[in-house]
Amino acid sequence: MSAPTRRLTVKDVVDYEWCPAKLWFKYYGPRLSWRPRHYTGEERIDHDETVRIVGEALGRGMEECTIIREPLLHGITLPVTGRPDMIAYCPDTCVAVEVKTRRSPWGLAELQAGLYKTILEEQSECRNRETVALIVEDGTARRVDPDRSTIALKVRRALEVLRTRTPPEPSRPSRACRACQYRRVCPYSQE
Ligand code: SF4
């Protein structure tokens, strides 16, 4: 995979947060014969139930909202592309929804939903509407309110990682190594 010079995916930024070296290996490491299958939350949770939970969280009926499943969003000033599980375009609100079937560590779900919200704010359809990001899990929804400058900083740092010639040493011993597909080739693996 060749390294992106200007644009990342939301998953890249989440991988960076998981472990900067993991993001580096994703682009410069050996090709792995096994790659994890990517499931979206909506594949496992009933769509109508998700819409009901979102409506409850917003305190509104969803009949007037246009719902699009897994749309591809391109940031305009934020050089990131991503595909949330669902977007609801309601008359006064644009809502990005990420569905999780279990809690992810280290605030990764919050970062993911925060990235979607930041990208959504830049879409022309949402300019005059409130934007909301929701994580749906365990039958409830919680709002994510990211700090835009923190999100932009993480994206910049993730891009910087891909400009280095060697994998960056993680700043903390990573508890993530056991679940990392690069643990056999990574010099920093704790496994
Ligand atoms: S093995 Fe551990 S340190 Fe190496 S890339 Fe994976 S998570 Fe990071």
Instruction: Give this prediction's pTM.
Output: 0.89
CA distance 127 to 143: 19
Roughly how many angstroms between the first and final C-alpha of the chain, as a whole number?
25
pLDDT reading at 28 higher than 80: yes
Going by C-alpha positions, the residue among 121, 172, 115 that lies closest to residue 146 is 115
142's enclosing H/E stretch is: strand 140-144
Q: Which atom of ligand 1 is nearest to the CA of 21?
A: 5
Q: Is 181 in the pocket of ligand 1 (CB under 6 A)?
A: no
Contact assessment for residue 158 and residue 121, using Cβ atoms and an 8 Å cutoff: no
Ligand 1 in contact with 183 (CB < 6 A)? yes
Ligand 1: does its nearest atom lie under 6 Å from the Cβ of 23? no
Q: 19 C-alpha to center of ligand 1: Å?
A: 6
Q: Which residues neighbour 59 within 8 Å (Cβ) at sequence distance 6 or greater?
A: none
Atom of ligand 1 nearest to the CA of 167: 5
| DSSP codes, 30-79 | PPPS-------GGGTS-HHHHHHHHHHHHTS-STT-EEEES--EE-SSS-
14, 113 in Cβ contact below 8 A? no
Q: What is the pLDDT of residue 4?
A: 63
Q: Give the number of residues written for the chain.
A: 191
Hey, what domains does the chain have and what are their CATH numbers? 8-179 (3.90.320.10)
Q: Which two tokens stand for residue 174?
A: 């990573």
Structure confidence by residue, pLDDT tens digits, 150-172: 999 999 999 999 999 999 988 77
Distance 25 CA to ligand 1 centre (A): 9
Structure tokens at 175: 């508890």
97 falls in which pLDDT band (50, 70, 90)? very high
For residues 69 and 82, give the distance between their C-alpha atoms in angstroms, rounded to a whole number.
12
pLDDT tens digits for 38-94? 555 555 668 999 999 999 999 999 999 999 999 999 999 999 999 999 999 999 999
Confirm or reject: Cβ of 19 under 6 Å from ligand 1. Answer: yes
Q: In what order do the strands lie in the sheet with 130-137?
A: 66-69, 86-89, 93-99, 130-137, 140-144
Q: Enter the tokens of residue 149.
A: 């400058």
Position 176 confidence tier, pLDDT thresholds 50, 70, 90: confident
Rounded to an integer, what distance in angstroms lies between the CA atom of residue 86 and that of residue 113? Answer: 11
